Structures are given as C-alpha cells and as structure tokens.
C-alpha cells in the first residue's frame, strides 16, 4: 500500500510539473460544454431564423400571415431580387416567401392562391422549421376556411440553389465528421512530429545538416498534407459509395476544395502546435481546439442553428469556411466559378497559419 | 253661421286626416326605400367600425360584433336557400340545431373576413334594386387597394332590412357555402353535414378561447 501511495505521489508530482497541461485538461470540458450549450440552447432557435418575404399583395390577408409568422421567425419584407440574393448568394436565409399579387382579394373571395417558397435545401433543418411554421401561420389565417372546401393557401417550393428540394442528414454529417477527423489527424500529426524531433534531438541534427530550415519544415508538412488529403478523399468516396453522398457537379472544383481545406488545416495545425511545449500539452490543447472549431464551425451541426453572434464568430475558424465550401459543392451544386472566393479564403487561411506557425515553431531540444 | 261653416270644417278635417294618415304611412314607405336599405348597412358597419376601433377586450369586441351581425343577417333565409327542401324534411330538434350552428358559422365566417382589416374604412355605393330587395354595394378601403363587399338585402316586416347574402370580391357567401353543402349532402347525408358543422363551430370556439 505504501509503495502504491508513493507511486501515486510521484505521478501526481509529474503531472503538476506541467501546469499548462493540467489547465488544458480541466478547461477542455468546461469550454466545450459552454460552447455546446450556447449553440444549442439559450435562444429560441426558430426566432433566430430569418425569413425574407416578398409581399406583392400588400393586403390584409398578407398582413395577418406576416403577423402570424413574425411571432416565430425574423420576418423581413424585401424586394424579390433582394430575397433571392439573401437565399442563394449570401446564404443568410434558408427560404424566402413570395405572397402573390391579389392574394387578399382571392382569399376573401374564397378562391385559392399559391404562395411560393424560394428555398435553399442545403439548410435542411432550418427549412423544415420554416415549412412547419408556415403551415401554422396558414392555419391561423385559415381559421375562416370552412370544413368542406379545399385549403385556400397552397405553398409551392422552388429551390434556388440546386435541383433538389430536400437533403439528407448524411449530407451534413459526412462532410462535418470528415473535416473533423482530418483536422484532428493533421493537427496531432504535426504537433507530435515536432515533439518527437524535440525528444529525440533529431531536430538539432537536422539543423546542422546542409538543408534549409524551410525545406525541412516544408518536407514535414508536405507529408502531413498528403496524408490529410488522402484521408479526406477516402472519407468522401466512402460516403459517396456507402451513403450516396453527392460530390457535386464539378470534380475539379471538388478536388481543389479538398486541397484548399487540407491546406488550411496544415497551416492551422502548425500554428496550434507552436503553442504546445510537451506531449502532455499537445493532447488537451489539440482536443480543446479541435472540439471548439469543429462544434462552432458547423462540423457537428449546421452553423445556421447557432445564435447569430456565434454564426459570425464561426467564420474566424477554418472549419466554417471548409463546411461552407464543401456544402456549396455537394448540396448547392455550385461550380468553380461560384466557390472561388471560399477557395481563396482557405488558401489564405492556410498561408497565414503556416507563416505564424513557422515563426512559433522551435527545433531546440528541451 | 255655424251651419255655413260646416261643409268647410268637414273639408278641412278631412284634409287634416288625410295629411295625418299620409304622414303615418310615410315612415313605412320610407323604411322600405333604397335609402333605408343603405342606411341599414351603414348603421351596422358604422357600429362594427366603432366596436373594432373602440375600447374593450378582444372577447368583448367579438361578442358585440356577433350581436350586431346576428341582428343584421337573415341566416335562416340563407340556410333555406342553401339547403332547400332537405332542411324541411328534418325533425324539428335537428333543424333547430342546424340553424343555430349555421347562424354561428356564417356570422363567424363573415366577421373573421371583416377582422382581416385592422381599421376598416367603408365606402358605400348606390343601392341597386333587385327582385326581392336591394343590393347595397360597399367597399373596404385600404392604403393599397379596395375590397368589394356587397350586401343583398331583403325586407322583413318584423325585423326591417336584413342581409340574405354577402358577396365578397365577387363571391357570394350563400352561394359558395350552399354549393359545398349540397355536395356534402349528396355524398354523405345530413347527419355527416351536421357533425362537420358541429366540429367546425367547436374549433372556432376553442380558437377564440385560445
């Protein structure tokens, strides 16, 4: 017993010798729990959903419908062109509702009308919420409709961002978890590589060898980049074959996007690895960072379900941009011409990460 | 002298009597005029507007509007126009229940259409004479548009001018409901019709309560 206690005391002393590692071990669950709680609760999810409305009617029935919808959603009356821009280009809304001309006149005269819902099916769950709330609003407004006739309001959906009107959960989850695992592998891979160099003192030997520091760093990162890219492609091909995950209409765009995503991960991984001074620090630091950027960045759930402030914060991280780009290709069937701004951001992110990470990285033995 | 005045007095008395009779008969004739029909619609809609814009809770306003509408609509006539002989073939209690539900249903349907307008501004057209009364054209003005609501009025000795139909944006309420009821009657029969009406009115009541 005494021996066991002595060993325990020695191990505790070893752990306490690295307070940074201890701190990370403690703060990981606190930070992750806080972020998950902030993302998934605390606000009425539906109330943060924006619904642009093109009110071509301007009549009393449209007003009642809008009032009913406003109790559940952020309703904004806009012009048709602005509504299309908000849904298709800016991705600020999952759908826009068009209330046609003479809706009130037809409704009051007991003649049916068709409302058009211009959708972005890539925002699946948000779209489902809007559809359900629209049904409630219709029922509210249709309290006058009699039990014998057909409904006076019909909703017709038109996708603005692709050929499909619905998406599956695989199409959100497979890209999300693929990004997470590739990021995890890349970040830990880079951090452990440099830690090994420190522990084995090989870093010192390499520094005196006749090769430039940039070549040394570049070679190590290139290997990690190749592994990450292969992992990413394999995961998506598996998703495609096993779960029917679409890979978009342009293989070139998909290839470039995967390359950009992994490049940003390598830069980010090098940067984060620069903060870890020991193996004990790498694991909690890496886990904290990966969990935070993946949860906020839309790998675990869509970014649009988060509160607006967190959605804005999400785009400080590579994961939000990666998910935007991949979902643009997969769900919105966009081509290279439409996703190039995201590619630029990801390559830029990776470049800045590499520069900052190279500066932070040290090869000196401890 | 008194004799000399007699024929004159008689003549004058006769004239006074005639004037009195004429003046007594005049309100009845005026009451059935186009102006009176228009006045009946205007009076009801003015009262409705005052209720909508006046003080009171939503429930109080609805109750007041319902009372106003009940006094203005001849829902029995509407029901008979819609149902025809089928209604007469029913037992007295069932007929009574149907007419009660029908009244509530029609009044609510009309009021809910009216309540789409937050601050209704009514305009009145010249009444048009028909076979059985007058059609009083009105419209509800909004900032962007005008919505036509025409009232078909029929004179009832005991209750004055009553609306037997309302035509909203060209669609007759009686005709529309009648067509739907006839179709349901043919397919399902009176019992099912009554059951659906019961359910609908109950739903209206619960929505109102909520």
Of B150, B193, B198, B201, whose CA–CA distance to B174 is shortest?
A: B150
User: pLDDT class for B2, splitting at 50, 70, 90?
Assistant: very low
Cβ B116–A143 below 8 Å, yes or no? no
- Identify the pLDDT of residue A294: 93
CB-facing half-sphere around the CA of B162: CA atoms within 13 A? 17
Cβ B183–A59 below 8 Å, yes or no? no
Q: Compute CA distances B165 → A6, A143, B35, B178, whole Å.
A: 98, 21, 19, 11
In a mutational test of the A interface, the residue from B117, B198, B204 whose CB has the highest number of chain A CBs within 10 Å is B117
The answer to whether B175 faces chain A, any CB pair under 8 Å, is no
Residue A340 has phi, psi (to 5 degrees) of -60, -35
Give the domain ranges of chain B.
31-209
B46 vs A152, residue with greater confidence: B46
Q: pLDDT tens digits, residue range B8-17?
A: 656 665 655 5
Q: pLDDT tens digits, residue range A193-209?
A: 888 877 777 766 766 77
Cβ B118–A60 below 8 Å, yes or no? yes
A196 vs A166, residue with greater confidence: A196
Q: Is the pLDDT of residue A323 over 60?
A: yes
Q: Is the pLDDT of residue A54 over 80?
A: yes
- Identify the pLDDT of residue A179: 95
- Average predicted confidence (pLDDT) for chain A: 83
Select from B105, B117, B169 the Cβ nearest to the Cβ of A105. Answer: B169
Q: pLDDT tens digits, residue range A260-299?
A: 999 999 999 999 988 887 887 888 888 888 988 998 899 9
Q: Where in chain A is the domain with CATH 3.40.1710.10?
A: 49-159
Q: What is the mean pLDDT of residues B119-139?
A: 89
- The answer to whether A87 and A93 are in contact (CB under 8 A) is yes
Distance CA B163, CA A176 (A): 65
- Identify the pLDDT of residue B18: 52
Q: Is the pLDDT of residue A147 over 50?
A: no
User: What secondary structure does DSSP assign to A84-134, as a single string?
Assistant: HIIIIIS---SEEEEE-TTHHHHHHTT--EEEEEEE-TTSHHHHHHHHHHH
Q: Is the pLDDT of residue A43 over 60?
A: no
Residue A270 has phi, psi (to 5 degrees) of -65, -40
The minimum CA-CA distance between A137 and chain B, rounded to whole Å, is 13
Residues 79-108, chain A, touching B (beta carbon < 8 A): 104-106, 108
The minimum CA-CA distance between A68 and chain B, rounded to whole Å, is 12
Select from A59, A106, A149 the Cβ nearest to the Cβ of B180. Answer: A149
Q: Which residue of A has its CA nearest to B142?
A: A59
Q: pLDDT tens digits, residue range B15-26?
A: 555 544 444 444
Distance CA A106, CA B116 (A): 13
Distance CA A124, CA A138 (A): 21
Select from B113, B116, B180 the Cβ nearest to the Cβ of A148. Answer: B180
Tokens read off for A352: 């800045």
For the question of whether the overall pTM of this predicted structure is more than 0.80, the answer is no
- Identify the pLDDT of residue A165: 67
Cβ B116–A64 below 8 Å, yes or no? yes
Homologous superfamily assigned to A49-159: abc type-2 transporter like domain (3.40.1710.10)
Interface size, chain A vs chain B, as Cβ–Cβ contacts under 8 Å? 60
The minimum CA-CA distance between A141 and chain B, rounded to whole Å, is 9
A90 vs A317, residue with greater confidence: A317
The answer to whether A136 faces chain B, any CB pair under 8 Å, is no
Query: A155 pairs with which residues across the strands?
Result: A115
| Interface predicted TM-score of the whole assembly (ipTM), two decimals | 0.73
Distance CA A174, CA A86 (A): 26
DSSP state of B73: B
Report domain B31-209's class: alpha beta
Tokens read off for A72: 């559940």
Select from A60, A63, A144 the Cβ nearest to the Cβ of B109. Answer: A144
Q: Is the pLDDT of residue B149 over 50?
A: yes
Query: B156 pairs with which residues across the strands?
Result: B160
Q: pLDDT tens digits, residue range B89-122?
A: 888 898 899 899 888 888 887 887 888 887 788 9
Please name the helix (run of DSSP H) or strand (run of DSSP E) that holds residue B5, with its range, or none.
helix B2-31
Residues 199-228, chain A, touching B (beta carbon < 8 A): none
């Amino acid at each position: 017993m005494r021996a066991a206690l002595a060993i325990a005391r020695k191990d505790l002393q070893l752990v306490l010798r690295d307070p940074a590692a201890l701190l990370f071990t403690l703060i990981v669950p606190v930070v992750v729990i806080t972020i998950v709680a902030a993302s998934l609760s605390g606000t009425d999810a539906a109330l943060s959903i924006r619904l642009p409305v093109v009110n071509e009617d301007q009549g009393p029935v449209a007003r009642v419908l809008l009032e009913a919808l406003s109790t559940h959603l952020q309703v904004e009356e806009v012009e048709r062109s602005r509504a299309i821009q908000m849904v298709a280009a800016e991705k600020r809304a999952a759908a826009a509702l068009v209330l046609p001309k003479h809706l009130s006149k037809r409704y009051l005269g007991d003649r049916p009308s068709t409302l058009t819902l211009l959708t972005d099916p890539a925002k699946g769950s948000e779209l489902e919420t809007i559809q359900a709330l629209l049904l409630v609003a219709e029922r509210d407004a249709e309290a006058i409709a009699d039990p014998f006739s057909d409904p006076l309001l019909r909703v017709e959906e038109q996708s603005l961002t692709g050929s499909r009107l619905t998406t599956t959960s695989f199409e959100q989850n497979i890209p999300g978890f693929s990004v997470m695992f590739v990021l995890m592998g890349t970040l830990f891979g880079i951090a452990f590589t440099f830690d090994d160099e420190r522990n084995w003192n090989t870093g010192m030997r390499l520094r005196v060898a006749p090769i430039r520091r940039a070549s040394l760093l570049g070679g190590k990162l290139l290997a990690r980049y190749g592994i990450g890219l292969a992992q990413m492609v394999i995961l998506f091909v598996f998703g495609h074959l096993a779960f029917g995950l679409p890979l978009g209409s342009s293989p070139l765009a998909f290839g470039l996007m995967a390359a950009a995503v992994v490049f940003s991960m390598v830069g980010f991984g090098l940067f984060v690895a620069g903060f870890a001074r020991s193996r004990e620090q790498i694991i909690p630091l890496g886990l904290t960072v990966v969990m935070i950027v993946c949860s906020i960045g839309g790998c675990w759930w869509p970014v649009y379900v988060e509160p607006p402030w967190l959605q804005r914060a999400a785009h400080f991280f590579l994961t939000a941009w990666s998910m935007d780009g991949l979902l643009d290709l997969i769900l919105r069937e966009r081509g290279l011409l439409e996703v190039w701004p995201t590619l630029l951001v990801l390559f830029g992110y990776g470049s800045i990460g590499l520069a900052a990470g190279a500066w932070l990285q040290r090869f000196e033995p401890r | 002298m008194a004799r000399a005045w007699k024929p004159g007095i008689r003549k004058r008395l006769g004239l006074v009597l005639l004037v009195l009779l004429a003046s007594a008969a005049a309100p009845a004739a005026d009451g059935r005029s186009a102006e009176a029909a228009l006045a009946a619609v205007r009076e009801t809609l003015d009262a409705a507007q005052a209720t909508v814009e006046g003080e009171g809770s939503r429930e109080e306003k609805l109750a007041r509007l319902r009372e106003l509408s009940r006094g203005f609509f001849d829902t029995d006539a509407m029901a008979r126009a819609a149902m025809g002989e089928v209604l007469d073939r029913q037992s007295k209690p069932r007929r009574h229940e149907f007419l009660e539900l029908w009244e509530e249903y029609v009044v609510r349907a009309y009021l809910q259409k009216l309540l789409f307008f937050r601050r209704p501004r009514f305009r009145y057209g010249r009444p048009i004479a028909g076979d059985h009364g007058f059609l009083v054209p009105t419209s509800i003005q909004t900032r962007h548009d005008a919505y036509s609501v025409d009232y078909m009025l029929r004179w009832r000795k005991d209750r004055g001018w009553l609306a037997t139909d309302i035509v909203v944006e060209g669609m007759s309420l009686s005709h529309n409901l009648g067509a739907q009821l006839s179709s349901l009657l043919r397919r399902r029969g009176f019992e099912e019709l009554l059951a659906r009406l019961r359910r609908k009115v109950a739903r209206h009541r619960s929505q109102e309560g909520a």
